[in-house]
Structure formats: C-alpha cells, structure tokens
Amino acid sequence: MTSLHAEQLGRARTAAEFAAVIALLDTDLNDALARRRELAEAEDRAVFGDGDLAAARAALDDCNDQIVLLEKTIDTAGKRRADAAASEARADIAALGDEIKARAVTLRERWRDVRRLVEQLRQQLFEVDALARTIATANGLFDAAGVAELKVNLTTTRRAAMAGPRAAPPARLSRPALQADKLLLSFLSPGGALDPRPPLGAPVDGVKSKFIPAKTSFGERG
C-alpha cells in the first residue's frame, strides 16, 4: 500500500470516498498477487541454482506481508465504508423526515385553500340557484302572457358559461383525487350534476320521451 493510498484512506469520510480508496487498494492487491506468482517462480528457479535463493525468498516474504497488509486494510476500509453508508442513510432519513414535515405544513395549507374554495363554490351555487329560479318563474309568466320570445333558455345559458378548456389531471393521481376531479367536472359537463338533461348529441328514446317529462335542470321548475 502506497503512502498516498494511506493518506487518502485517512482522509476518507463518506462511503463514496472509502469506495474510491478501496478500488485503488484492490488494484494494488491484484498487482501484488501477480508479483507473488513471479517471485514464487523465481524462488523455484533459485532452488535449482538459477538465482539467489535467499534474496528470492526474502522478496517473496515481503510480497506476502504486503498482500496480508493490503487484505487487512481493504477489510477495514470495507467496514468503515459500510459504517459511513449506514450513517449517511440515517442522515438521509432524518433529512427526509424534515422535508416531509415541511410538506405536511404545505398540505395543511392546501387543504385550507380547498375548503375555502369549496365554500366559495357553495355560495356561488346558492346564488346561481336563486337567480335561475327567478328566471324560471319569469319564463312561466312570459309563457302565460304569450311572449315566449322573452324567455331565457337556462340550459343554453349555463352550457355557454361552462364551455372552455379543461385542465388535464396529472399522470399519477390517486383514486380519491380522480373521483373528486370527476365530481368537479360533473359541475361543468352537459348531463352532469347541474345539468341532468342528456349531453348534447346523446340519443333520446323516442317512446319514453312521449310519456316521461324531461328532467328539469339546475334552478328550473318542471
């Protein structure tokens, strides 16, 4: 193990830093293992008089010592990397907890906005109903007076007011949110909550229509 690697290992604090040093140590270990094979072959040759046997064995012993040191160092570094990773995971969880608390505050504010808007919607619907009932009463008087041209078509008025683009729901919307969105859209759509008559272009059962009066729309009288 080089002094540079030892310094890097001493400075390492994060799991990624330990992993980088371990990768360098693994390279050193592979080089040492390859060198040991070469030294073992040199020792074998020296046994048969080809080279200095004592020097070959000393070099092989030094190489083995270096391999043992590298293996121990890598093992220790691996444990420190695992400890660092666990510490970082705990820190990430703690940070996530703080983030979720902040999001919970935002969620509570959004729900308050929803409540406020729903109450505003209810108030508007109350006023719409009152206006529609007043106009429906006037329409009845116009019919009785023979001036049907003065009547206001409440269905046409409402559908014209409700026309316009619709926002697309997000791709990952929960089932309750989809149901709520469908309910809200029913206030805007022909044949929806405020418009019980069939949507424009919907087929009409001619037989039934002779005997069953058309449903009244929001604010209209049957």
Please give the model's pTM, rounded to 2 decimal places.
0.59
Q: How many CA atoms lie within 13 A of 63 on its CB side?
A: 20
Q: Which residue has the tokens 């009244």?
A: 216
Rounded-to-integer distance, Cα 203 and Cα 22, Å:
74
Ramachandran region of residue 113, left (φ > 0), alpha (ψ -120 to 50) or beta? Answer: alpha
Q: What tokens does 93 get?
A: 């969880």
By the 8 A CB rule, do 221 and 137 touch? yes
Q: CB atoms < 10 A from the CB of 129, how many? A: 13
pLDDT in 10s for each residue of the chain, 222 residues? 556 777 888 888 999 999 999 999 999 999 999 999 999 999 989 888 888 889 999 999 999 999 999 999 999 999 999 999 999 999 999 999 999 999 999 999 999 999 999 999 999 999 999 999 999 999 999 999 999 999 999 999 998 999 899 999 998 899 999 999 999 998 888 888 887 665 555 554 443 433 333 445 555 654
